[in-house]
A and B are shown apart, each in its own frame.
Chain A
Amino acid sequence: MKIKFSLLFLLLIFFGCSPVRMVKPLQKRQQIVGSSFGGPLINFAGAPIPIPFTSLFYANGITNNVTVIGGLNTTSLLFGNIHLDASSCINLFYKENKYGISLNPGVQSIYHIRDSKSFGLWPTLDLNGYFHFKNKSSFLYTGVNSWIELKNQKAHGEKVTAPVLPSFQIGYQLVNTKWNHQFEIKYLGIGRSNQPNVVDYIGGAGQGAFGLFYGLHFKF
């Protein structure tokens, strides 16, 4: 007996419902509004498809090396959850049009509109390396993302045994004058069993799920 627990796909995407918001900081005073589409890959009617989750975000270049970002997960909102994220993208190291390393400390908060006690907060941390080819603006990137559990107890007083939930990502950002296109593959829930579920996740050896994402950014 296995319950048809379709909500499990939503459980998983909460820590992987969007691509990396910002890999490389914007120029000072530059702004972006962006949207993303995609989620964990599942087998559906015999074909692999990403669960279509959506989000919106806004980013503002505070300096040439620091960008602040705020996002809203719109699919989650449709289910009554106000799921917001705030983060910053900080250049740790950068060589003009060659490569760089960035750090994204952030926080995710979720609140369900019909449950006053449901507010939850999770710090997140992304570390990404990005690489330009032939001095082009577009770049390839790879990195890790982690959600961090602040509570030491779960429901019924049970101990939290794994306070860090890591994912791995690799992507490409096509940079144009006004519009950027972002393509990203994530490996969500590294080391976590994806069995059993009714939704047929595509993961590695019964663990985690691969996610496929597309982002569209408008610069101004």
Chain B
Amino acid sequence: MKTIQFIQKSALLVLTIGFTACLKLDANLYNKKKLDAYQLDNYTGEQDFILSQDYAIPGSLIHQFTLQSKSKNESKATTIHAIYIGNLTTIANDTIIVYCHGNKWHMDFYWQRAKLLAHVNGKNKYGVLMMDYRGYGLSEGEPSEEGMYADVDACFQWLKQNGAKDNQVMIYGFSMGSAPSCELTANVSSLSPSKLILEAPFASSAVMAQDGSQLSMSASYFTDLKIDNAEEIKKIKIPFLWLHGTNDNFLNYKTHGQVVYNNYQGIYKTHVLIKDADHSEVPSKMGFDAYLRTLKEFITKK
């Protein structure tokens, strides 16, 4: 009898703990790193690649500033940091790439990638706008899915205030950056980009959970993230370029990128699979010239 009472009490305790103290894993998803200042070309930490002087950006074309970002459900704005590469006085006429970086650390890590994009179609030809999502780099606050979308939308608002129009703006999402790229293109936002580029995109948090567990487990067992690029892409009509390495051992190109690509139902799509490239190796394995040429052909295609 005592044993049965012990079992009953233990079960009650366990259930009580379970229902009242649900821990969250989501905070662990974001691989953010705080900085004291952006170093850009002077950054000596780990980077995927370092460009030669051929891709140097004159100091007069590098603009670092802050934005106020507020999602629908927030009462208070969060200060985030952004960098614009280009001429501030010609934003109304320039082609601009909004670069949504991946999950690693901060803009210093992605600085070389942003510089590369500024050289699509010629030296320092295109404007590039990159931001650190809240919690990353110098940006304040804590990361969240809603916050990330608001942060990219804050960049859209800044571009609009500076005269940019929808048809000048391309959105480029790398890895985790594919989530705001799809979300804000598929749904109403402050600006409607004219073309979408996804490099090594997620399909959804469901695919992430299933790839990890190797079983058809629900994403909700692990996360509250609702990222679902594979569904959002169905609403997107603007031209779409997909880049993915065939050796991506983090976001498998078949279970993630291919699903997104197949689900696209818009007016034009094209893709480049880069043989043997791992998750962060698309530009380097492709070759910078080939990478820039591919982007140029896609962006300038009428």
Residues of A bordering B, CB below 8 Å: 1-8, 10-12, 14-15, 31, 33, 56, 58, 72, 74, 76-82, 110, 112-115, 117-118, 120, 122, 147, 149, 151, 153-156, 158, 160, 162, 165, 189, 192-193, 195-196, 198, 220
A5 touches B29 (CB 8 A): yes
Q: Which of B101, B230, B280 is A2 in contact with, Cβ under 8 Å?
A: B280
CB pair B28 A165 closer than 8 Å? no
Measured between alpha carbons, how far is A110 from B21 in the docked complex, in Å? 18
Minimum distance in angstroms from A96 CB to a CB of chain B: 28
B194 interfacial by beta-carbon distance below 8 Å: no
Determine whether the beta carbon of A1 is less than 8 Å from that of B215.
no
- Over the window 189-217 of chain B, the binary record of Cβ atoms lying under 8 Å from chain A Cβ atoms (1 yes, 0 no) is 00000000000100110111110111111
Residues A195 and B29 in contact in the complex (CB < 8 Å), given A147-B215, A155-B207, A220-B3: no
Complex interface residues of chain B between 72 and 96 (CB less than 8 A to chain A): none
**CB distance B222 to A7 under 8 Å?**
yes
Q: B214, A162: Cβ atoms under 8 Å?
A: yes
Given A156-B230, A156-B263, A196-B250, answer yes or no on A189-B214 (Cβ-Cβ < 8 Å): yes
**Residue contact A14 to B249, C-beta cutoff 8 Å:** no
Given the known inter-chain contacts A11-B222, A154-B210, A156-B204, please indicate yes or no for A3 contacting B215, CB distance below 8 A.
Answer: no
Q: Return chain B residues, CB-CB under 8 Å to A72.
A: 11, 14
B20-40 interface mask toward A, CB cutoff 8 Å, 1 = contact, 0 = none?
A: 011111001111000000000
B279 at the interface (CB under 8 A from A): yes
Chain B residues positioned under 8 Å from A11 (CB to CB): 209, 212-213, 217, 222
B210 near A118 with CB under 8 A, answer no
6 A-B residue pairs with Cβ-Cβ distance under 8 Å, sorted by A, are A2-B103, A3-B31, A14-B213, A156-B207, A158-B255, A158-B259
- A68 to B217: give the CA distance in the assembly, Å: 26
Residues of A within 8 A of B213 (CB): 11-12, 14-15
Contact A5 B212 (CB under 8 A): yes
Given contacts A14-B215, A118-B218, A122-B215, 5 further A-B contacts (CB under 8 A): A1-B250, A2-B103, A8-B212, A154-B210, A156-B204
Which of B7, B18, B104, B220 lies in contact with A58, CB distance below 8 A?
B7
Q: Across the interface, do B250 and A3 meet the contact criterion of CB distance under 8 Å?
A: yes
Q: Is the CB of B29 within 8 A of A120?
A: no
- Whether the pair A1, B175 counts as a contact (CB closer than 8 A) is yes
Residues of B within 8 A of A76 (CB): 221
**Are B7 and A195 in touch, CB under 8 angstroms?**
no
Q: If A11-B212, A56-B10, A149-B216 touch, does A6 touch B29 (CB 8 Å cutoff)? A: yes
Q: Report whether B17 and A78 are in contact in the complex, using a CB–CB cutoff of 8 Å.
A: yes
A70 vs B23: C-alpha distance in the bound complex, in angstroms? 24
Contact status B223-A7, CB under 8 Å: yes
From B102, B215, B259, contact of A156 by CB (8 A): B259
User: Given that A1-B48, A4-B30 are contacting pairs, would A78 and B22 also be in contact in the complex, using a CB cutoff of 8 Å?
Assistant: yes
For window 206-256 of B, CB contacts with A under 8 Å fall at 206-210, 212-218, 220-224, 230, 249-250, 255
Chain B, range 100-149, C-beta contacts under 8 Å to A: 101-104
Q: Is B65 an interface residue (CB 8 A)?
A: no
- Residues from chain B with Cβ under 8 Å of A117 in the complex: 218
Q: Is the CB of A3 within 8 A of B221?
A: no
Q: Verify A120–B216 contact, CB threshold 8 A.
A: yes
| Nearest chain A residue, comparing its CB with the CB of B206 | A155
> Which of A12, A115, A156, A160 is the one whose CB lies under 8 Å from B212?
A12
Chain B residue nearest to A152 in the complex (CB): B216
Cα distance, A24 to B170, chains bound together (Å): 64
CB neighbours of B156 from chain A (8 A): none
CA distance A12 to B214 in the complex (A): 9
Task: Name the A residues within 8 Å of B212 (CB-CB).
Answer: 5, 7-8, 11-12
Contact between A112 and B103 (Cβ–Cβ < 8 Å)?
no
**Neighbouring A residues of B30 by C-beta, 8 Å:** 4
Q: Take A113-B19, A155-B210 as given contacts and tell me if A2 and B279 are in contact as well, using a CB distance cutoff of 8 Å.
A: yes
Chain B residues contacting A158 (CB-CB under 8 Å) are 207, 255, 259
